[in-house]
Amino acid sequence: MPSDKTPPAAVRAGDVVFQLSVQATAESGTLRAHVELLGERAAPFPLPDWASQQASQVAVALCEHRSSARDLDLDRLSLDDLAHAARVASFLEVSSLAMQPLVEAFGARLRGKSTAELRAALHAPNDITDPDTVAVEPLFTPLSSNVAATASCSGDDGGAGRSTRLSRESAPSIVDIDRDAVLTCLSRLDAATLRSLKQVSRQWRRHARSLLGSEHSAWRLAPVWSVREETRALAEHGHDSGLDSEGALRALGEAADPVVELPAFAERVCMRLTHEQPDVCVAAVELLGQLEPATLAPHASSLVPCLA
């Protein structure tokens, strides 16, 4: 982090210069290195030609405010505008904490949309040739060499071979931003939306699998399950005892989506495996059995004594 004697940075987007405070400079790895190297001799850092003034202004505001999407007035921006701002912020290596308002705003635009609605919002082609297979694949299906080979043969490189350089006249579009910026934007989407995203196109399926299929992805480290209010209410207040009865556990099993909703309650269900009433223990085991293997795996040690 720059010291009090380190001059604040400035960035140039076209003919416009944006001045940052010392604290805001600290939120950008690129600008921090720039001023630490050149000190008071540092001229405004030139952004690439593809960085629009609006996107640059949003990236600078993220560094300055560390505030909410509402405070930054991100609601006025289109999804493409948010994606373009994310690309500039990624180029400037803006900290993940400062990026949160943009990530939240991006996620809010996509959350709860159907596959068709997502495809329209993301300007994506309908090039999925095996929709039925994708629809039922395990949530945590990883990117594999087999998938990569299929993509290569079909001409889909997941964006890896796409040129990400835009001319100043080009309209910014979400399809033009780099993969890291895309994954950052998607990192706080809920599980149901990411599952739908797999069916949008081959490229977006790869993005979704990158987040869901890697144990070390930002999403897997802090998963966002798609819990409906009625399901949460059932788990917390159903049968007047939360999940402390056989009936409550079975009711939750009937109501919750086992792939994108039930995992949110797995820890609480595991606590019922040692319940004094055998029927409750059995219901808990059966409920956990609805989880996909990869989702159940972290709780395997709790199940072993019950299966002995």
Read off the pLDDT of residues 35-51 as tens digits, 9 standing for 90 and up: 988 887 789 999 999 89
Question: Residue 4 contacts by C-beta under 8 Å, 6 or more apart in sequence?
Answer: 22
Q: Running along the chain, 308 residues long, what does each successive block of 10 average in pLDDT?
A: 66 93 92 89 90 93 76 86 92 92 93 94 91 89 61 42 37 66 92 96 94 94 94 73 78 94 94 88 93 92 76
pLDDT of residue 196: 95
pLDDT of residue 240: 47
pLDDT of residue 70: 65
pLDDT of residue 175: 61
Between CA 96 and CA 157 the distance in angstroms is 27
pLDDT of residue 108: 93
Pick the CATH number of 10-102 from 3.20.20, 3.30.9, 3.30.710, 3.30.1050: 3.30.710
Element (H, E) at 243: none
Q: Which contacts of 232-241 are long-range, i.e. CB under 8 A and separated by 24 or more positions?
A: 235/265, 235/268
Break the chain into its structural domains and give their ranges.
Answer: 10-102, 115-221, 229-307
pLDDT of residue 41: 79
pLDDT of residue 169: 38
